[in-house]
Amino acid sequence: MTEIFTGSFTQQEPIPEEAVEAALAVLRHGRLHRYNVVPGELGETALLEQEFAAQMGAKYCLAVSSGGYALAAALRAVGVQPGDPVLTNAFTLAPVPGSIASVGARPVFVGVTEGLVVDLDDLEAKLDQARVLMLSHMRGHLCDMDRLMQMCDAAGVIVIEDCAHTMGAAWRGQLSGRQGAIGCYSCQTYKHVNSGEGGLLVTDDEELAAKATMLSGSYMLYERHLAAPGPEVFERIKYNTPNVSGRMDNLRAAILRPQLRDLDQQVSRWNERYAEIEDGLRDTPGLTIVERPEGETYVGSSIQFLLLDWSPERIAEVIHRCAARGVELKWFGGAEPTGFTSRYDSWRYADSAPLPASDRVLAGIMDMRVPLTFSLEDCRLIARIIRAEVGAVYQS
């Protein structure tokens, strides 16, 4: 009998009841705008920022409209100007180079290793080309953050972290997003907390926090924030920081607060599922497991494996055969961008120098989402299907 998987790779869990209740309360009073509060009231957005700052051990937090907005605000806050080069990962998703392009700056791509992290040797060679690195922890893979920060600090390169896939992850016990000058998170449906759209930004730097807050569209109401610097910091920057509206609203914040309280538990549940799939795929001929480094605490909300040096035709055959059995694999090596996968050379608004070693890795990256609606048995079944189909094509 041929086993078929019938679950959905895009179905997340429902919003927890407590969050639904909190959302209803906001809808019933009608004060959705973050600055629309009655005397003495602490709005949901301000409370979310206060709680997330505490959870991350950060001095300051700002909630915004999306992860991509947080990245662009971070770039503006650190002073990136039109035409400036910004170092970033060749292996990432389109909103990352997009945020750089949105401020008129120019991405300079850094290669990817077989461990799916930024190639630190390539980065070292390019550090003199820019004063900012937009580091994307793509698909939750953390590089040796100690070495990276050492290199960037020595070169005077400011690090902005894209933690869309590492909310809840850590490097040697330090939460992801807390090594660089600014950490940015996404609360979009497919990330680790779900408000449909939304973003969070954390930093310990008072001036960056004040600038990001002004940028997000705080008018002169920044005193209603609970995780922002004091008014004297805003005094210094308020006349020179434009309003580029991208605020979070109280409805989304209400939905997010209970989810953030559950984050650690959700991370364990993702990792149980990840472990089942990884175990099931181990020792499949032709398939390379992406081994996780010792210092990394990851969030297994998606899994990647490599079909290194396979021809595009054979990879397409694996994808086709798995799809026929209900298993949706995404491929980062495809010539055309499809869905959320694209390659650095498909972002044609940005010039890119060839990265042959990275091209070899990218051509073999297979990617799969692991929503929490999958049971552990679902994960074992999915692994059996991939194993069988990779094996069948490998031996043919």
Ligand X SMILES: *Cc1c(COP(=O)(O)O)cnc(C)c1O
The residues that touch ligand X, with contacts defined as CB under 6 A, are: 66-68, 92-93, 95-96, 136, 138, 162, 164-165, 186, 188, 199
Nearer to ligand X among residue 288 and residue 342 (C-beta): 342
Using CA atoms, how far apart are residues 167 and 53, in angstroms rounded to an integer? 13
Instruction: Determine how β-strand 106-110 pairs with β-strand 85-89.
Output: parallel
What minimum distance in Å lies between the beta carbon of 314 and ligand X? Answer: 27
In whole angstroms, the minimum distance from the beta carbon of 79 to ligand X comes to 21
Write down the least CB distance from residue 257 to ligand X, Å.
Answer: 18
Reading the block at residue 365, the tokens are 């990256």
Q: How far is the CB of 65 from ligand X (least distance, A)?
A: 8
Q: What does DSSP assign to residue 289?
A: E
State the nearest-atom distance from the C-beta of 116 to ligand X, in Å. Answer: 12
Instruction: Provide the minimum distance between the beta carbon of 198 and ligand X in the complex, in angstroms, as a whole number.
Output: 7
Please, which residues bridge with residue 160 across strands?
134, 182
The least CB distance from residue 246 to ligand X, in Å, is 10
E strand map for 105-211: 106-110, 132-136, 158-162, 170-171, 174-175, 182-186, 199-203
Residue whose entry in the numeric block shows the structure tokens 């100690």: 146
Of 50, 57, 52, 26, the closest CA to residue 225 belongs to 50
CB-nearer residue toward ligand X: 200 or 318 = 200
Least CB distance to ligand X at residue 197 (A): 6
CB of 111 or CB of 229, closer to ligand X: 111
The residue (of 186 and 213) whose beta carbon lies closer to ligand X is 186
CB burial of 170-181 (b: ≥16 within 10 Å; e: otherwise) equals bbeeebbbbbbb
Q: Which is nearer to ligand X, 36 or 102 (CB)?
A: 102
Tell me whether residue 92 or residue 284 sits nearer to ligand X (CB atom). Answer: 92
What is the closest distance, in whole angstroms, from the C-beta atom of residue 342 to ligand X in the complex? 11
The SS3 of residue 61 is strand
Say which residue the tokens 């308020």 belong to: 238
Pairing of strands 330-331, 365-369: antiparallel
| Pairing, β 85-89 against β 132-136 | parallel
Task: State the DSSP code for 341.
Answer: B
Place of tokens 């001036």: 207
Residue 246 CA to residue 255 CA, distance in Å, equals 18
Which residue sits closest to ligand X, CB atoms considered? 67
Comparing CB distances to ligand X, the nearer of 241 and 302 is 302
Nearer to ligand X, 141 or 225 (CB): 141
Quick one: tokens of 11?
A: 């179905």
Q: Which is nearer to ligand X, 145 or 385 (CB)?
A: 145
Q: Residue 121 region, left (φ>0) first, then alpha (ψ -120 to 50), else beta?
A: alpha
